[in-house]
A and B are shown apart, each in its own frame.
Chain A
Amino acid sequence: MALKMVKGSIDRIFDKNLQDLVRGVRSHREDEAKYISSCIDEIKQELKQDNIAVKANAVCKLTYLQMLGYDISWAAFNIVEVMSSSKFTYKRIGYLAASQCFHDGTDVIMLTTNQIRKDLSSPNQYDTGVALTGLSCFVTPDLARDLANDIMTLMSHTKPYIRKKAVLIMYKVFLKYPESLRPAFPRLKEKLDDPDPGVQSAAVNVICELARRNPRNYLSLAPLFFKLMTSSTNNWVLIKIIKLFGALTPLEPRLGKKLIEPLTNLIHSTSAMSLLYECVNTVIADCCVCVKTDTCPRPPQLCVQKLRILIEDSDQNLKYLGLLAMSKILKTHPKSVQSHKDLVLQCLDDKDESIRLRALDLLYGMVSKKNLMEIVKKLMVHVDKAEGTTYRDELLTKIIDICSQSNYQYITNFEWYISILVELTRLEGTRHGHLIASQMLDVAVRVKAIRGFAVVQMATLLDNTTLLAGSGQHKSICEVLYAAAWICGEFSEHLEDPVHTLEAMLRPKVATLPGHIQAIYIQNAAKLFAAVLNGQQGTPDCQTMQESSQLLIDRLPLFVQSADLEVQERASCILQLVKFIQKLQHKEVEVGEEVTALFAGELNPVAPKAQKKVPVPDGLDLDAWINEPPSESESEDEKPVAVFAEEELRHARPHHTEVDEKELARRREARKQEQANNPFYIKASPTSQKDSTGVEHIPVVQIDLSVPLKVPGMSTSDKYLKLEEERRQRERKERGKKEKKKKKKREKRSGMGRRHDSGPESEEDIAPAHMVDIVTEEMPENALSSDDDEKDPNDPYRALDVDLDKPLADSEKLPVRAHRPTNILKSPADDGEVQEVPKEPKKKSKKEKRDKEEERKVRLLWLRCPNGEIQCTCTKSSKHKKKKQKKDKEKEEKKRKKQHGHSGDREGEESVQNGTLEEEPLPVCDIQGNLQNGSQVVVSIIFENKSTSFLKSMEFNVLDSLNSKLQRPEGSGPHDGLTVPFQLPPGVSNEARFIFSVQSIVMPQRLKGTLTFIVKADDSSTHEKLDFKLHFTCSSYLITTPCYSDTFAKLLESADLKGTSVRLQEVSLPFHHLLAKICFHHHFSVVERIDSCASLYSRSIQGHHVCLLVKYAHQTVTIDAKCDESSLLGNVLEEIKKTFSQS
Chain B
Amino acid sequence: MVAGSRPTSCRNYRCWIERLNHITESKTLKFALEKTTEDMEQQIIRETFHLVSKRDENVCNFLEGGLLIGGSDNKLIYRHYATLYFVFCVDSSESELGILDLIQVFVETLDKCFENVCELDLIFHVDKVHNILAEMVMGGMVLETNMNEIITQVDAQNKMEKSEEATLGMRVSFVTVYSIAR
State yes or no: do A and B come from one complex: yes
Interface members, chain A 171-212 (any B CB < 8 Å)? 171-172, 175, 197-198, 201-202, 205-206, 208-209, 212
* Contact between B64 and A64, CB atoms less than 8 A apart: no
Once A132-B138, A317-B96 are accepted as A-B contacts, the answer to whether A354 and B175 lie under 8 Å apart by CB is no
A351 to B60, CA, bound (A): 10
A12 to B168, CA, bound (A): 11
A88 to B164, CA, bound (A): 8
B22 within 8 A of A: no
Q: Quick one: CB contact mask for B79-105 with A, threshold 8 Å, 1 for yes? A: 000000000000001011110110000
Q: Please name 16 pairs of A and B residues whose Cβ atoms are closer than 8 Å in the assembled complex, sorted by A.
A: A19-B124, A69-B39, A88-B160, A92-B131, A101-B35, A104-B35, A124-B160, A136-B32, A172-B139, A209-B141, A236-B145, A274-B96, A317-B62, A317-B97, A352-B55, A354-B63
Q: Which residue of B lies closest to A106 (CB)?
A: B35
| Closest CB in chain B relative to A877 CB, distance in Å | 23
Interface members, chain A 302-343 (any B CB < 8 Å)? 316-317, 319-321
* Contact between B62 and A205, CB atoms less than 8 A apart: no
* Contact between A22 and B26, CB atoms less than 8 A apart: yes
Once A88-B157, A136-B138, A320-B60 are accepted as A-B contacts, the answer to whether A10 and B175 lie under 8 Å apart by CB is yes
* Contact between B96 and A209, CB atoms less than 8 A apart: no
Once A87-B164, A88-B161, A172-B139 are accepted as A-B contacts, the answer to whether A69 and B95 lie under 8 Å apart by CB is no
B117 within 8 A of A: no
* Contact between A168 and B26, CB atoms less than 8 A apart: no
* Contact between A89 and B161, CB atoms less than 8 A apart: yes
Q: Quick one: CB contact mask for B133-150 with A, threshold 8 Å, 1 for yes? A: 010001111111110010
* Contact between A198 and B64, CB atoms less than 8 A apart: no
A87 to B167, CA, bound (A): 11
Q: Quick one: CB contact mask for B4-40 with A, threshold 8 Å, 1 for yes? A: 0000000110100000000001111111111101110
A164 within 8 A of B: yes
Q: Which residue of B lies closest to A278 (CB)?
A: B95
Partner of B60, one of A19, A68, A93, A355: A355
A9 within 8 A of B: yes
* Contact between A168 and B138, CB atoms less than 8 A apart: yes
Partner of B153, one of A99, A139, A161: A161
> Which B residues lie at the A interface, using CB under 8 A?
11-12, 14, 25-35, 37-39, 41-42, 55-56, 58-64, 66, 93, 95-98, 100-101, 123-127, 130-131, 134, 138-146, 149, 153, 156-157, 160-161, 164-165, 168, 171-172, 175, 179
Q: Which residues of B contact A67 (CB under 8 A)?
A: 27-29, 126
Partner of A22, one of B63, B93, B124: B124
Once A12-B172, A161-B153, A198-B149 are accepted as A-B contacts, the answer to whether A126 and B160 lie under 8 Å apart by CB is yes
A795 within 8 A of B: yes
* Contact between A796 and B11, CB atoms less than 8 A apart: yes
* Contact between A6 and B126, CB atoms less than 8 A apart: no
Partner of A317, one of B25, B38, B100, B131: B100
A93 to B125, CA, bound (A): 13
A168 to B130, CA, bound (A): 18
* Contact between A96 and B127, CB atoms less than 8 A apart: yes
A102 to B41, CA, bound (A): 14
A973 within 8 A of B: no
Q: Which residues of A contact B66 (CB under 8 A)?
A: 390
Q: Which residue of B lies closest to A202 (CB)?
A: B143
* Contact between B143 and A168, CB atoms less than 8 A apart: yes
A312 to B123, CA, bound (A): 40
* Contact between A316 and B123, CB atoms less than 8 A apart: no
A126 to B56, CA, bound (A): 42
> Lowest 3 A-B CB distances belong to which pairs?
A103-B35, A136-B139, A274-B97
Q: How large is the interface on A (under 10, 10 to 19, 20 to 34, 35 or more residues)?
A: 35 or more
Q: Which residues of B contact A10 (CB under 8 A)?
A: 172, 175, 179
| Closest CB in chain B relative to A303 CB, distance in Å | 17
| Closest CB in chain A relative to B108 CB, distance in Å | 16
| Closest CB in chain B relative to A664 CB, distance in Å | 49
- Give the one of B42, B127, B140 with max A CB within 10 A: B127
A505 to B130, CA, bound (A): 60
Q: Which residues of B contact A70 (CB under 8 A)?
A: 38
A175 to B179, CA, bound (A): 57
A105 within 8 A of B: yes
- Give the one of A9, A10, A71 with max B CB within 10 A: A9
Q: Which residues of B contact A124 (CB under 8 A)?
A: 160
Q: How many A-B residue pairs lie within 8 Å, measured between CB atoms?
A: 183
* Contact between B41 and A69, CB atoms less than 8 A apart: yes
A60 within 8 A of B: yes
Q: Which residues of B contact A64 (CB under 8 A)?
A: 126-127
Q: Which residue of B lies closest to A197 (CB)?
A: B146
Main secondary structure of the interface of A (DSSP, over half): helix
A53 within 8 A of B: yes
A983 within 8 A of B: no
Q: Which residue of A lies closest to B145 (CB)?
A: A236
A120 within 8 A of B: no
A63 to B165, CA, bound (A): 21
| Closest CB in chain B relative to A328 CB, distance in Å | 11
A126 to B134, CA, bound (A): 12
Q: Which residue of B lies closest to A32 (CB)?
A: B25
Partner of A169, one of B29, B56, B139: B139
- Give the one of A133, A169, A208 with max B CB within 10 A: A133
Q: Which residue of B lies closest to A315 (CB)?
A: B60
Partner of A209, one of B31, B93, B130, B171: B93
Q: Which residue of B lies closest to A324 (CB)?
A: B96
Q: Which residues of B contact A862 (CB under 8 A)?
A: none
Q: Which residues of B contact A26 (CB under 8 A)?
A: 25, 123
Partner of B93, one of A19, A235, A243: A243
A13 to B131, CA, bound (A): 24
A751 to B6, CA, bound (A): 58
Q: Which residues of B contact A165 (CB under 8 A)?
A: 138, 143
| Closest CB in chain B relative to A440 CB, distance in Å | 24
A273 within 8 A of B: yes
* Contact between A89 and B32, CB atoms less than 8 A apart: no
Q: Which residues of B contact A96 (CB under 8 A)?
A: 127, 130-131, 134
Partner of A316, one of B58, B64, B130, B131: B58
| Closest CB in chain A relative to B159 CB, distance in Å | 10
A205 to B26, CA, bound (A): 32
| Closest CB in chain A relative to B178 CB, distance in Å | 8
| Closest CB in chain A relative to B21 CB, distance in Å | 11
Q: Which residues of A contact B168 (CB under 8 A)?
A: 9, 53
Q: Which residues of B contact A130 (CB under 8 A)?
A: 134
Once A26-B25, A198-B149 are accepted as A-B contacts, the answer to whether A354 and B60 lie under 8 Å apart by CB is yes
A102 to B179, CA, bound (A): 42
A137 within 8 A of B: yes
Q: Which residue of B lies closest to A276 (CB)?
A: B97
A130 to B161, CA, bound (A): 13
* Contact between B35 and A133, CB atoms less than 8 A apart: no
Q: Quick one: CB contact mask for A935-972 with B, threshold 8 Å, 1 for yes? A: 00000000000000000000000000000000000000
Interface members, chain A 110-163 (any B CB < 8 Å)? 124, 126, 129-130, 132-133, 136-137, 139, 161
- Give the one of B30, B32, B100, B143 with max A CB within 10 A: B143
A709 to B152, CA, bound (A): 78
Once A63-B127, A102-B35, A171-B141 are accepted as A-B contacts, the answer to whether A6 and B175 lie under 8 Å apart by CB is yes
A62 to B139, CA, bound (A): 21
Q: Which residues of B contact A101 (CB under 8 A)?
A: 35
Q: Which residue of A lies closest to B128 (CB)?
A: A18
* Contact between B42 and A69, CB atoms less than 8 A apart: yes
A134 to B116, CA, bound (A): 28
* Contact between B62 and A354, CB atoms less than 8 A apart: yes
Q: Which residue of A lies closest to B165 (CB)?
A: A89
Q: Which residues of A contact B149 (CB under 8 A)?
A: 198
A516 to B24, CA, bound (A): 41
| Closest CB in chain A relative to B82 CB, distance in Å | 19
Q: Which residues of B contact A22 (CB under 8 A)?
A: 26, 123-124, 126
| Closest CB in chain B relative to A387 CB, distance in Å | 10
| Closest CB in chain A relative to B176 CB, distance in Å | 8
- Give the one of B11, B34, B123, B138 with max A CB within 10 A: B138
